[in-house]
Chains A and B, each alone.
Chain A
Amino acid sequence: MLFTAGPMVFSLYLSLTRYDMLKPASYVGMDNYRELISDPKVATALYNTLFFTFLHVPLQIVLALGLASLLRRAGRASGFFRTVLYLPVMTPPVALAAMFLLLLNGQTGAINELLGWFGFTGPNWTTDPVWVKPGLVVMSLWTVGSTAIIYLAALSRVPGELYEAARLDGASPWRQFWHITLPGISGTIYFTVVVNTIASLQTFTEAYAMFFGNSETADSQGDSALFYVIYLFQQAFSSLRMGYASALGWALFVVIAVITVIQVRVSRRLVHYESEPR
């Protein structure tokens, strides 16, 4: 409480001030909030962040679910594959960014080289503003293992007799997945959607390390990798606008809260809990 609520309340106060860390804060009322509404960079940063989130979260969920389903059939080798799948999650984000900067290079990167084998000419993932965000989404899937492990645990809890009964009734694998597996793990899917959405809306480290961390890459892609938290960070620690950055933080808090409330409402119709009466 002391270490979470304290800074939150203080940042709420700061959001109503002009504060550069070097001179005392001066009260400016709602000026910072008025400014963020008219600041075109906020709109750009918010668009980039939402674009990334709406692309990353569904892809992460689908891929993780696919991998978990495959893992479930791995039998005795499942433990080995589980470890292999989780290893990438342990890569430090900055090392990951440096690695993908090389892999995604449009002219010399391994990903385009691979696409070339199949007759595709890959885009300039790291330098073309149109492809920068999809490139970041590709990179973000590197850590799909953590979600896949959660799904694997959820899949193992779906009662086997339900599949047996369905098979006896002649249900196809797709119908089994749609009517048994998905409802069976819908609570877990809901949890991962909420958690991944919040994490995506706060994306910072990888994009910052790739595109803002050194002078060679800084600004080279225009504003196409300017995520909301990166802009907040720039305002706070480069422009020394702690008041404005705090207002940006609270605006993001509201955006996350609204999206989460929508997800909670939608989940009431879609999520099935075992304890619920049918």
Chain B
Amino acid sequence: MSKAGTLIAVAMLAAGCAGLGASANDGPNVLTTMGFGLPDEHATARVGLFRQKYPGIDLRITEGAFDEQQFLSAVASGEPPDLVYADRVKLGGFAARGAVQPIDECVRRHRVDLSVFRSAALRQVTVDGHTYGLPDFATVKLLIINNPPVRAAGIDPAGMSATDWALLAAQTSTLTESGGGRLRRIGFDPKLPDFVPLWAKANGADLISPDGRRAMLDDPKVVEMLRYTTDLVKAQAPWASFKAFKDGFDEFGAGNQYAKDQLAAMPMDSFYINTLATNSPDVDVTVKPFTDRAGNAFTELGGQAWAIPRGAAHPEQACDFLVTMTAKDAWVTAAKARRDGLAAKGRPYGGTFTANRDADDEIFSAVYRPNGNRIIEQGVPVVLSLQEKAFTLPPSPAAPDLIRAWRSAAVRVLNGQQTAEQALADAQREADLALRRVIGR
């Protein structure tokens, strides 16, 4: 082969390997998604509704959890999916960095009434006054108390709360059980480092400024919170033993920590009510709102959102999809399908918690079917009462770094490597540096 021929062959090989051929996105009616799956009726029924409404669109769902690396690489390469489904904290950060595009025009075209979405959820997808996605599910955090061990210790579960920190520490000490050098029961698990933002808010502090451009990790109230919560853990057992004991829980099974009396109380995400109701319907628990130090009920709202990546090939069809998926009628259809699916297995339906207020109103008035399950009947009203009392972390362009900074700080204190003051001072420095890098502040 001549030199020129060899060069052409190498170039052709390189071009082929570099993916210059036609991709799925190139089809005019092909719509691709990332980060979404079809695990239950909530997904399948809504997708079915979209396919029915837009029969000309070839929807291709690549099932799997959201992968940040995969997503950003796809955006950077100029071949992103048409839609992305991810945790709102992450999407807010991507919006702030320009990895997803504003959908203001889409919202206008479909006359979407944004006021039907829970304000905290909408706040997470709004950056500089522009909407970057539509919120999907909504979860809240609340307190779940294991009644038998609490009552056995002479404590009224209804009176147990996170309001009086000194009292909670005393109750925790009473409820904790150890034996043979090992922890047998956790009295109260503050869920560190995951629930640091919730505890900070309970003590009247925010970790990030409302515009997402300033970290406030060394605020004395945050320091006080971290000192208290880490002491609460360390008073029960060294962190290494505490964490290892927790890691041994069969959290999503019939032998979970409530059923096996391994835990007396903890704050938890609302989805766990349905988990308990399904896996161990006979556990005797009290579900209560989490409270701040003044006794006011409040919570942290979480969940996912749909957004359109920058450079998406079919933004208009993507817009049709995300509007359909988050609309009231789609949620109600999905809720009915879910209820019927669970009923076929003889299970109760504890409702579907969405970020769409209108959808929730309809679901909990017409579809909800607890079938006498005590955990659901007690827990669901608490969840519903909390949804409008929720705060969220504001979207920040340095969100992953900020979250990592306070999580690591909490663990350093738990491990006894640093005091709360030292750890949060270091975390503040890390956060400032990360923000400076991203926004040049």
Among the listed A2, A127, A239, which residue makes an inter-chain contact with B247, where contact means beta carbons less than 8 Å apart? A127
Among the listed B76, B194, B241, B412, which residue makes an inter-chain contact with A222, where contact means beta carbons less than 8 Å apart? B412
Among the listed B17, B181, B398, B411, which residue makes an inter-chain contact with A121, where contact means beta carbons less than 8 Å apart? B181
Chain B interfacial residues counted at CB < 8 A: 40
Cα of A20 to Cα of B240 in the assembled complex, Å: 36
Segment at the interface with B among A56-64, A84-92, A101-109, A159-167: A101-109
Per-position binary interface string of chain B over residues 401-429, scored 1 when its CB falls under 8 Å from any chain A CB and 0 otherwise: 10010011001100101000000000000
Cα of A240 to Cα of B116 in the assembled complex, Å: 34
Task: Output the nearest chain B residue to A20 by Cβ-Cβ distance.
Answer: B97
| A:214-252 near B, CB below 8 Å | 215-223, 234, 236-241
Main secondary structure of the interface of A (DSSP, over half): loop
Which among A215, A217, A218, A234 has the highest number of chain B CB atoms within 10 Å?
A: A218
Main secondary structure of the interface of B (DSSP, over half): helix
A129: Cβ under 8 A from any B Cβ = yes
Cα of A219 to Cα of B407 in the assembled complex, Å: 7
A22: Cβ under 8 A from any B Cβ = yes
Say whether B76 contacts A22, CB under 8 Å: yes
Cα of A218 to Cα of B400 in the assembled complex, Å: 13
Cα of A239 to Cα of B93 in the assembled complex, Å: 11
A124: Cβ under 8 A from any B Cβ = yes
Cα of A23 to Cα of B437 in the assembled complex, Å: 13
B10: Cβ under 8 A from any A Cβ = yes
| A:22-45 near B, CB below 8 Å | 22-23
Task: Output the nearest chain A residue to B72 by Cβ-Cβ distance.
Answer: A21
Q: Which residues of A contact B182 (CB under 8 A)?
A: 107
A53: Cβ under 8 A from any B Cβ = no
Q: Which residues of A contact B247 (CB under 8 A)?
A: 101, 105, 107, 126-127, 216-217
Per-position binary interface string of chain B over residues 422-441, scored 1 when its CB falls under 8 Å from any chain A CB and 0 otherwise: 00000000000010011000
Q: Which residues of A contact B408 (CB under 8 A)?
A: 219, 222-223
Cα of A275 to Cα of B287 in the assembled complex, Å: 77
Q: Which residues of A contact B76 (CB under 8 A)?
A: 21-22
Cα of A105 to Cα of B245 in the assembled complex, Å: 8
Q: Which residues of A contact B248 (CB under 8 A)?
A: 105, 107-108
A234 to chain B, nearest CB (A): 8
Say whether A239 contacts B400, CB under 8 Å: yes
Say whether B411 contacts A219, CB under 8 Å: yes
Among the listed A3, A22, A218, A237, which residue makes an inter-chain contact with B310, where contact means beta carbons less than 8 Å apart? A22
Say whether B244 contacts A126, CB under 8 Å: yes
Say whether A220 contacts B243, CB under 8 Å: yes
Cα of A226 to Cα of B280 in the assembled complex, Å: 37
Say whether A106 contacts B181, CB under 8 Å: no
Q: Which residues of B contact A216 (CB under 8 A)?
A: 247
Say whether A106 contacts B98, CB under 8 Å: no
Q: Which residues of A contact B68 (CB under 8 A)?
A: 237-238
Among the listed B72, B241, B407, which residue makes an inter-chain contact with A124, where contact means beta carbons less than 8 Å apart? B241
| In the complex with contacts A106-B241, A107-B245, A221-B411, A240-B98 CB distance below 8 A | no
A148 to chain B, nearest CB (A): 32
Cα of A129 to Cα of B417 in the assembled complex, Å: 10
Say whether B411 contacts A222, CB under 8 Å: yes
B69: Cβ under 8 A from any A Cβ = yes
Per-position binary interface string of chain A over residues 159-188, scored 1 when its CB falls under 8 Å from any chain B CB and 0 otherwise: 000000000000000000000000000000
Say whether A222 contacts B97, CB under 8 Å: no
Say whether B72 contacts A129, CB under 8 Å: no
B169 to chain A, nearest CB (A): 23
Which among A123, A124, A126 has the highest number of chain B CB atoms within 10 Å?
A: A124
Q: Which residues of A contact B297 (CB under 8 A)?
A: none
Among the listed B14, B72, B239, which residue makes an inter-chain contact with A127, where contact means beta carbons less than 8 Å apart? B239
Say whether A22 contacts B75, CB under 8 Å: yes
Say whether B244 contacts A21, CB under 8 Å: no
Say whether B404 contacts A238, CB under 8 Å: yes
Per-position binary interface string of chain B over residues 179-201, scored 1 when its CB falls under 8 Å from any chain A CB and 0 otherwise: 00111000000000110000000
A residues near B, CB below 8 A? Answer: 2-3, 18, 20-23, 101, 105-108, 121, 123-124, 126-129, 131, 215-223, 234, 236-241
Q: A3-B17, A18-B437, A131-B240 are in contact. List 10 more A-B contacts (CB 8 A).
A: A20-B438, A105-B244, A107-B183, A123-B240, A124-B240, A124-B243, A127-B244, A218-B407, A237-B69, A238-B68
A-B contact pairs, 13 of them (CB 8 A): A20-B97, A21-B76, A22-B75, A22-B97, A107-B183, A108-B244, A121-B181, A123-B240, A124-B244, A127-B247, A218-B407, A222-B415, A239-B401
